[in-house]
Amino acid sequence: MSLFEMSDRAKKYQADLLEFMDEHIYPAEAVYDEQMRASGDPHFHPPILEELKAEARRRGLWNLFHPHPEWGPGLTNLEYAPLAEIMGRSHIASEACNCNAPDTGNMEVLTLFGSEEHKEKYLKPLLDGTMASAFAMTEPRVASSDATNIELRMERDGDAYVLNGRKWFASNAMHKNCKVLIVMGKTDPTAAPHRQQSMMVVPVDAPGVTVVRNLPVFGYADREGHAEIVFENVRVPAKDVLKGEGEGFAISQARLGPGRIHHCMRAIGAAERALELMCRRAQSRVTFGSPVAERSNIQDWIAEARIDIEMIRLLTLKAAYLMDTVGNKEARTEIAAIKVAAPEIALKIVDRAIQVHGGAGVTDDFPLAMMYAHLRTLRLADGPDEVHKRAIARQELRQYRDAATAAVN
Ligand SMILES: Cc1cc2nc3c(=O)[nH]c(=O)nc-3n(C[C@H](O)[C@H](O)[C@H](O)COP(=O)(O)OP(=O)(O)OC[C@H]3O[C@@H](n4cnc5c(N)ncnc54)[C@H](O)[C@@H]3O)c2cc1C
């Protein structure tokens, strides 16, 4: 029973999604792994994924994330949270339901700031699940957790901009269906710090765009990839600037709010699955005359996992509720808080589940090692922990600043 009462339609989606997970997603995980292994190509697009997408669509479990009724079911963040959590239990479920990052964030940007042409050319195929996209903000040469450092140059030349620079960690750029990049760069280095940046829609095959390499993460070559991309004199028509020149920073804030909380929802799903695996394994393995589950330290881990999951779920739901009721900007402290807490706690639970599995825990016979690698990256992706803590601390300190100034005077 949740403190946040769910609507009937949200309950229906949850029941339908749980059924889809049991009947199709979990049984497909081994098939997916086998198809990937057999292909010998880390960026292969396995046919089972297309079968799952067709089935999800048939069941109406498609684009669940999209808040605008014109393009999706129009669920609130609070209604979507448990659905993202359920999908987070498996590494193939989000894409099967067309709810995977970074496409979700890019679709929201194109919905809010894209032209009619962008919607026709990119948003529609993305919503159809026939196209994939990447978001290119981070750069190897500058500390990108401070987005004002971004250097990729976007210089006006007649009715176009000319792009020069280098990006990395563009997730999804190695996806077989990736056709478009949303690129952030600098159009006016002399403007105020948060007005220097713009975002543009750039086809991945535009002349001058070179995908140099994929960056493996903890040795995993993720199927969607995290690409390093060079831009050399890439001409982008002025009509492909999103929202307007100087609006890049504002768009990135709009994009990252929902994206961050979606990651947290999925992390909770991963933590739940790890706890389930930990309990099953602890009950089935016997050492020194009794099941591992009977040791008090293991019971502590299980109890702490349950307590921690309940806490982060409540904080996630609170952040989602605030986003729905007072808006993403007002909810920014809660979003930052959960972005720090959810990956950290999920990692601790997965780590203990690995320990309970013994050597098996670090193999790919169980999903735990891959979950660990993925969750660890979440402490960096969409902003490192320290940057979110900085924002929370500044907000906390702000309320005492005036009093301190008054006391000094
Ligand atoms: C798997 C993965 C996928 C990603 N996907 C994308 C993507 O699709 N698109 C994209 O553009 N980027 C992506 N990123 C990049 C990610 O957003 C950046 O790595 C992140 O924003 C940090 O930037 P940086 O790597 O340049 O680190 P830096 O900015 O160099 O920071 C390094 C470290 O300094 C510390 N630090 C920074 N500021 C402070 C502070 N104020 N106080 C204390 N410590 C601080 C933090 O510990 C931080 O980790 C991805 C990253 C990973 C790992």
pLDDT surpasses 80 at 3: no
Whether the CB of 393 sits within 6 Å of ligand 1: no
Mutation test residue for ligand 1: of 142, 144, 202, the one with most atoms within 8 Å of CB? 144
Rg (the chain; Cα; Å) = 22
Question: d(Cα 306, Cα 309) in Å, to the nearest integer?
Answer: 5
The confidence score (pLDDT) of residue 255 equals 74
The confidence score (pLDDT) of residue 189 equals 96
pLDDT surpasses 90 at 296: yes
Prior bond of 102 cis (ω within 30°): yes
| Nearest residue by C-alpha to atom 7 in ligand 1 | 170
The confidence score (pLDDT) of residue 409 equals 62
User: Which residues does 26 contact at the CB level (< 8 Å), separation at least 6?
Assistant: 90
For residues 228 and 346, is the Cβ–Cβ distance under 8 A?
Answer: no
Cα first-last separation, the chain: 52
How many whole angstroms from 381 Cα to the centroid of ligand 1?
6
Question: d(Cα 378, Cα 376) in Å, to the nearest integer?
Answer: 5
Question: d(Cα 274, Cα 313) in Å, to the nearest integer?
Answer: 15
CATH no., domain 250-399:
1.20.140.10
**Token pair in block for residue 88:** 């987070």
For residues 20 and 33, is the Cβ–Cβ distance under 8 A?
Answer: no
pLDDT tens digits along 116-173: 999 999 999 999 999 999 999 999 999 999 999 999 999 999 999 999 999 999 999 9
Residue 134 CA: which ligand 1 atom is closest?
8
| Nearest residue by C-alpha to atom 35 in ligand 1 | 386
Question: d(Cα 153, Cα 132) in Å, to the nearest integer?
Answer: 25
Residue 215 CA: which ligand 1 atom is closest?
1
Question: d(Cα 68, Cα 107) in Å, to the nearest integer?
Answer: 11
pLDDT tens digits along 168-216: 999 999 999 999 999 999 999 999 999 999 999 999 999 999 999 999 9
How many whole angstroms from 387 Cα to the centroid of ligand 1?
9
In the structure, what pLDDT confidence band is assigned to residue 408 with cuts at 50, 70 and 90?
Answer: low
Mutation test residue for ligand 1: of 142, 145, 166, the one with most atoms within 8 Å of CB? 145
For residues 353 and 369, is the Cβ–Cβ distance under 8 A?
Answer: no
For residues 372 and 393, is the Cβ–Cβ distance under 8 A?
Answer: no
How many whole angstroms from 159 Cα to the centroid of ligand 1?
34
pLDDT surpasses 70 at 300: yes
Query: What are the backbone angles phi and psi of residue 63, rounded to the nearest 5°?
Result: 55, 35
How many whole angstroms from 168 Cα to the centroid of ligand 1?
11
pLDDT tens digits along 25-71: 999 999 999 999 999 999 999 999 999 999 999 999 999 999 888 88
User: Is CATH 2.40.110.10 the right assignment for the domain spanning 132-241?
Assistant: yes
Whether the CB of 138 sits within 6 Å of ligand 1: yes
The confidence score (pLDDT) of residue 2 equals 59
**Domains of the chain, residue spans:** 8-114, 132-241, 250-399
Average pLDDT over residues 14-18: 98
pLDDT surpasses 90 at 291: yes
In the structure, what pLDDT confidence band is assigned to residue 83 with cuts at 50, 70 and 90?
Answer: very high
Q: How far is CA 341 from CA 18, 171, 258, 315, 372, in A?
A: 25, 23, 16, 9, 15
pLDDT surpasses 90 at 405: no
For residues 96 and 112, is the Cβ–Cβ distance under 8 A?
Answer: no
Q: pTM of this prediction?
A: 0.95
Q: Cα–chain-centroid distance for residue 224?
A: 13
Mutation test residue for ligand 1: of 103, 109, 169, the one with most atoms within 8 Å of CB? 169
User: Which residues does 277 contact at the CB level (< 8 Å), separation at least 6?
Assistant: 353, 357, 366, 367, 368
In the structure, what pLDDT confidence band is assigned to residue 290 with cuts at 50, 70 and 90?
Answer: very high
Pairing label, strands 226-237, 286-287:
unpaired
Whether the CB of 31 sits within 6 Å of ligand 1: no
The confidence score (pLDDT) of residue 69 equals 84
Over the chain, what is the mean pLDDT? Answer: 95
For residues 352 and 300, is the Cβ–Cβ distance under 8 A?
Answer: no
CATH no., domain 8-114:
1.10.540.10
Residue 140 CA: which ligand 1 atom is closest?
26
Amino acid at residue number 300: D
Average pLDDT over residues 323-345: 94
Whether the CB of 217 sits within 6 Å of ligand 1: yes
In the structure, what pLDDT confidence band is assigned to residue 1 with cuts at 50, 70 and 90?
Answer: very low
**Token pair in block for residue 167:** 């990006």
The confidence score (pLDDT) of residue 4 equals 78
How many whole angstroms from 380 Cα to the centroid of ligand 1?
5
* Percent of the chain whose pLDDT exceeds 90: 91
pLDDT surpasses 80 at 358: yes
Whether the CB of 100 sits within 6 Å of ligand 1: no
